[in-house]
Each structure stands twice: as C-alpha cells, then as structure tokens.
Structure 1
Amino acid sequence: MLSPTEPEPACHVDFETDDLTADEAAYRDFQDGLEDDLAPLAQHHADAHSFYVLFDRSATWGHPGMPQFLAVHVKRHEGTLTFEQAPLPLTAMAQSWLIHRGCPPDAIGLDPEMGPQPADEITRSLERRLAGDGDHFAMGYSYTCDDPDDMVTVVALRAQNERAPSPFRVVVEETDTDAWTYTLREGGFDTADEALQWCEDRLDAEAGPLPAVRPATAASRPTGVAKAPVPRPPGRTR
C-alpha cells in the first residue's frame, strides 16, 4: 500500500489509551489484536470516540489473500475503554464500517501521502458509494494479491435487498505500480457461483470484462434481507 517496492518504517498509531482502564481480558484482546506493524491511513477523534483506518503490513505474511486494512473504533467512558475492529479488503469498506458506527463521513478521508491515488472519476464515485451505502451489501468473499506485477483485490458482495438487480456484485481494485494509481470497478451477477467464478478467473488472469450491473426497476425498490446464502470462497490455496 505505502510503496510498490520497499516498505517504509512502521508509523506509530496512538490509540490514546494510556490513561484508560479496562478489564484484563478486554485490554489483552485490544493489545493482541492491534499489532505494531500498522500504518494510519485516516483517523478522526471526537469526544469519547476515535476512528481509524489502518494498513496492516503484517497481512502480506499471513494467510494468502487476507484483507490488508483494519477499521478500528475506540470508545472511552469514565476512564474505561471498549473497542471494535474489522479487517476489510478495501479502504472504502473500512470507511463505511466506521461511518455506520458514528464517524462523520467527511472526517475519515485518506491521507494522500500514504498510498496510491484513484486513477479516475469512476473509481472515486464508486468509492463514495461504497463508503456511504456499504451496509446495503454483505461481504461473502475477498482475496488480496499484492504481487507487484498484478496487485489486485476482488470482493464478492450480496445485496441485502432480495429484489435488487444483479443481487451479487463483484468489486475489483487494480493497482498500477508504475503510475502508483488504482482503479475500482463493479460488476453484477445473478448467482453467487457466477460472481465467485469471475473472482477466481481474475486471480488467474483469465477473466473477461465485468458484466454491467442491471439498472434498478420499480419492482426492486422494496427492501428486505436476501434469502440467498452468502457466497462461499473458492478453493484457492496460493
């Protein structure tokens, strides 16, 4: 994320917990869950709450395909702390997770010095939609490949609205390590198997173009939780 070739020294993340107390198990979970090899991409502090989008450098050495971003929400109350965290494959998804926990949308913008920049307006527009409407979809599968020759992240999503057009979506982020920019694109699928197959083909550099998302119709506007199962990841081992 920070460099296409050489990782920079770790950036210190101050969670401002020195004067806070927590029960022993909660504090141990907090310390164990937040490694030293984290870099802050965005953060916002307001009263008793702190919100962070972090890049986890250690993910590249973990299980293949792991998400490389961490959303963290720290809450303080009368000298005690509680926290929530979620590993997520895209920064826009981390922003969405924080926004839906009370972070102002305009307060969690990414530091432009800390990573590649969007390559075009399509990317910026899709990121804004993912950050604002991320709760409209459930993530079923993601895979991040940080090979400098093909840096790509694929994410399979399921619409929470059972009548949504293209109820299964794939979002793919591709990074140009020469220009140090990235593109984000979305495709629509009728079934989980089709979405997952496209992800698998893209990771093997064999995918065709993403199919367009079908436009919404009047019949698709009512909301409801989808009854279709969350997509299961393909059997990838690399």
Structure 2
Amino acid sequence: MITELDFSLDGFEPADAASERAESDLWLGDLTLLAEHHTTPNGSHSYVVAHDGSVTWGVPGEPQLVAIKIARNLADGTFTLESARHAQAAFAQNWLAERGCPPEKLIPSDDFLKPADDLTSQAEQRVRESGERYRVLDTYTYDSEPCETWALVRDSRATEQPVRVFLEEADLDGGTYTVREGAFADEQAARAWLDERPGPLPEPPANPATADHRTRAALSRSAGTSLSPKAGAQDSAATPSSANQPTRGRTL
C-alpha cells in the first residue's frame, strides 16, 4: 500500500511566504498518500492527493483530502507550494488538473476503495475534467458507519436545476464506493434533501446528447440494424441513493 509521502524538498527553500506557510500547515506524519504524479525527466513539478488523518480529530464534517502542487526552481533551489482541502477525490484531482496535472495521472491505486460501478466512474470523470464548471458551495464528511461524503455545488453549464449534490457512499466491507449526482432548483432545496432524505436523490435532467444516443440505440434495436456508436457525453443520470441520513466521507 502507498503510505509514505515525501515532498522531496531537501536542498530547496520556500520561494515566498505563502509557500513557507503552506508547507508548515502540512505535517507528513498525518498524510496518507493516495495518488501522485511527478513531471519527468527533471522532477520540477509534483502533484499529490493525500488523506489528512489529523482532520478526523478536528471539527466534524471538515474535508479530509488535500491536493498539493509543488513547483521546484532547479536553477535557484527554491520551491512554491500550494494546497487545497477537498471532500472527494475527484474534486482534488480537478483542482490539480487546473494547475497543470494530467487528470488520468492521479487515479488512486488499487490498494484503496474502488468505484462500485460505471455510474461512479462516469460521475468522477465528469468532475475531474470539468474545469471551473462546478463551484463548491459546501461539503460534509462523515466517517463512521455508514461512511458518506457530499459536495454541494453550482453547475455553471446547467440551464435547469443548477444546484447539484455529489453523494459518495462507501462500502468498507466490500472495498467499494458509489458516487451519484443529484439535481435541485436551488441551494435551499438541496440542503432540505440532505437534512431530511425524503426520498431518492433527484436525477439530473437528461443530457440532450445522451437522449439522442439512446434514441439511436432504440431505433437500431427495433430495426435489427447496427448504427456505429457516436462519441459523445456519457450518461449522467444518477441512481437513487439508499442513504437515510447524512453520513460522511470515505475513510481512506
């Protein structure tokens, strides 16, 4: 299992006060490495996703994952370091992707929980590759049984029901987790659902590209012919959540 984390900063000094402060805010003994990518051949940049165990002893609900970017100036022996806290791995990966890391380079190893199904993988891919599409409004992480995290976001591309909830539920016994996306008209409606859990997580409106793909597939089956698949958006529909109460994030 990947557990040891080394920033590889021996011989380097912080380039500015912000980098010195960011480094001092992270204690390697608290961090469990989930995924990392280092540029080659000179290793000038490092991108890391880690779990911060110290958060579990702090304020309940705080995000437990941290995304870290390190840029080393090999010529003058200085470095810059910036980090951000996230509730779910896909949002940490997105943050690093926006700062130059190829998203596919930061997939956690098989030593950790695995996506339970294709819908989970699709939801995480949407977040990883979303750029600045989702603005995070709030998160909550709960790490007792059953384990759950949620991220409340605003989708800048949505023309209807623009407030979205990404709900992650972990099955620690099975070694898997699911992620589902729900859609709401506003933040108040989303928070009401999270507080009360009156029913299944409301599915996002159908993506027109997805609907067209489904229509083509249905016509193909009814006509007994085969249409060549057309590249396009994957199905973003969520499936109902079985959660009855807020719980919190995946224990890593």
TM-score where L is the length of structure 2: 0.75
1:180 counterpart residue number: 175
**Residue 93 of structure 1 contacts residue 134 of structure 1 at CA under 8 Å; is this kept in 2?**
no
2:12 counterpart residue number: 20
2:160 counterpart residue number: 165
**Residue 165 of structure 1 contacts residue 216 of structure 1 at CA under 8 Å; is this kept in 2?**
no
**Residue 16 of structure 2 contacts residue 80 of structure 2 at CA under 8 Å; is this kept in 1?**
no
Secondary structure of the equivalent of 2:165? Answer: strand
**Residue 90 of structure 2 contacts residue 124 of structure 2 at CA under 8 Å; is this kept in 1?**
yes
**Residue 165 of structure 1 contacts residue 215 of structure 1 at CA under 8 Å; is this kept in 2?**
no
Largest Rg, 1 or 2 = 2
What is the alpha-carbon distance in structure 1 between the residues aligned to residue 109 and residue 86 of structure 2? 18
Percent of aligned positions that are identical: 37
Would the alpha carbon gap of residues 207 and 83 (structure 1) be closer, same or farther in structure 2, given more than 3 Å must change?
Answer: farther
1:152 counterpart residue number: 148
2:214 counterpart residue number: none
What is the alpha-carbon distance in structure 1 between the residues aligned to residue 80 and residue 100 of structure 2? 15
**Residue 182 of structure 2 contacts residue 203 of structure 2 at CA under 8 Å; is this kept in 1?**
yes
1:64 equivalenced with 2:57 (yes/no): no
Calculate the aligned-residue CA RMSD, in Å: 2.3
Aligned residues: 205
Secondary structure of the equivalent of 1:135? Answer: coil
What is the alpha-carbon distance in structure 1 between the residues aligned to residue 143 and residue 193 of structure 2? 19
Would the alpha carbon gap of residues 26 and 135 (structure 1) be closer, same or farther in structure 2, given more than 3 Å must change?
Answer: closer
Q: Give 1:57 deviation, angstroms.
A: 1.1
Match of 2:199 among 186, 197, 208: 208
Secondary structure of the equivalent of 1:31? Answer: helix
**Residue 19 of structure 2 contacts residue 81 of structure 2 at CA under 8 Å; is this kept in 1?**
no
1:43 counterpart residue number: 36
TM-score where L is the length of structure 1: 0.79
> Could you tell me which amino acid in structure 1 is paired with residue 165 of structure 2?
V
Secondary structure of the equivalent of 1:143? Answer: strand
Q: Residues 1-238 of structure 1: matches in 2 within 5 Å?
A: 11-22=3-14, 25-26=17-18, 28-35=20-27, 36-46=29-39, 47-77=43-73, 78=75, 79-113=77-111, 115-147=112-144, 149-161=145-157, 164-201=159-196, 206-216=197-207
> Could you tell me which amino acid in structure 1 is paired with residue 194 of structure 2?
C
What is the alpha-carbon distance in structure 1 between the residues aligned to residue 129 and residue 16 of structure 2? 35
Secondary structure of the equivalent of 2:169? Answer: strand
What is the alpha-carbon distance in structure 1 between the residues aligned to residue 198 and residue 36 of structure 2? 36
